[in-house]
């Protein structure tokens, strides 16, 4: 951020009075421009015992496989965002179930919220952000080609819970130190 979106004056990083963190503050009009984490909403979709994955047609992680997920938009709920992403990426009309996982991706300033889901009707397809969509049996899942650590976490917890006949909510923090991911799990509930 270099300029004020309100008056086009230059902004500078300073700690406003009474605050405790540096913010982009406009010297001309005084507007404080806050930046906050964003929510990525998605779902693990099961159909006839298999899991629906999409091969990414966009960066980052072009060509890798993911569960449908994307940025939550203003005016929608987290649940609506998760269902919308299933429609956009896999042309899938889903019925959302319980909340599966919440992952704080600290360096990316993102919170990834994933729900359980099933196909509301058996048809699905390939959205503009996908190269391919496919139902995978548990033993077929291409683990080395899963796009994101948070997606792998959600998928593994989903399958584990399914095996144990339960539906828990799982928590993880993902940070990066010396170029390596550092993962810390909270108690599942």
Question: What whole-number distance in Å separates Cα of residue 11 and Cα of residue 3?
Answer: 5
State which residue, 63 or 98, has the beta carbon closest to its own copies.
98
Selected from 57, 61, 93, 106, the binder of its own copies by CB under 8 A is 106
**154 makes contact with Zn ion (CB under 5 A):** no
**Can you read off the two tokens belonging to residue 117?**
């889901």
**29 makes contact with Zn ion (CB under 5 A):** yes
Selected from 38, 142, 145, 185, the binder of its own copies by CB under 8 A is 38
**Can you read off the two tokens belonging to residue 177?**
């130190």
Check whether the bond before 51 is cis (ω within 30° of 0).
no
In the complex, the smallest distance separating the C-beta of residue 137 from its own copies, rounded to whole angstroms, is 26
**125 makes contact with its own copies (CB under 8 A):** no
Per-residue three-class SS string for 45-98:
EEECCEEEEEEECCCCCCCCEECCEEECCCCCCHHHHHHHHHHHHHCCCEEEEE
State which residue, 40 or 52, has the beta carbon closest to its own copies.
40
State which residue, 31 or 50, has the beta carbon closest to its own copies.
31
**64 makes contact with its own copies (CB under 8 A):** no
| The residue to which tokens 């969509």 are assigned | 133
Question: What whole-number distance in Å separates Cα of residue 188 and Cα of residue 117?
Answer: 19
Question: What whole-number distance in Å separates Cα of residue 130 and Cα of residue 185?
Answer: 30
Sites of contact with Zn ion (CB under 5 A): 4, 6-7, 9, 26, 28-29, 31
Residues of this chain that interact with its own copies (CB under 8 A) are 1-8, 11, 18, 21, 24, 33-39, 71-79, 98-99, 102, 104, 106-107, 109, 111, 128, 167, 169, 171, 173, 186-187, 189
């Amino acid at each position: 951020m270099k300029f004020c979106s309100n008056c086009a004056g230059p902004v500078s990083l300073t700690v406003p009075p009474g605050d405790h963190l540096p913010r982009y503050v406009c010297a001309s009009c005084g507007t404080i421009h806050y930046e906050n984490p964003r929510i990525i909403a998605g779902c693990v979709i099961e159909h006839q015992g298999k899991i629906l994955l999409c091969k990414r047609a966009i960066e980052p992680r072009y060509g890798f496989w993911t569960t449908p997920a994307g940025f939550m938009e203003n005016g929608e709920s987290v649940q609506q965002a998760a269902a919308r992403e299933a429609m956009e990426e896999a042309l899938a009309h889903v019925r959302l179930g319980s909340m599966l996982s919440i992952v704080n991706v600290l360096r990316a300033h993102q919170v990834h919220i994933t729900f359980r889901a099933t196909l509301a009707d058996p048809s699905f397809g390939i959205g503009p952000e996908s190269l391919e969509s496919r139902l995978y049996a548990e033993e077929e899942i291409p683990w080395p080609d899963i796009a994101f650590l948070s997606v792998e976490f959600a998928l593994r917890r989903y399958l584990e819970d399914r095996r144990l006949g339960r539906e828990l909510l799982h928590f993880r923090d993902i940070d990066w130190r010396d170029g390596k991911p550092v993962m810390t799990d909270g108690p599942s509930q």
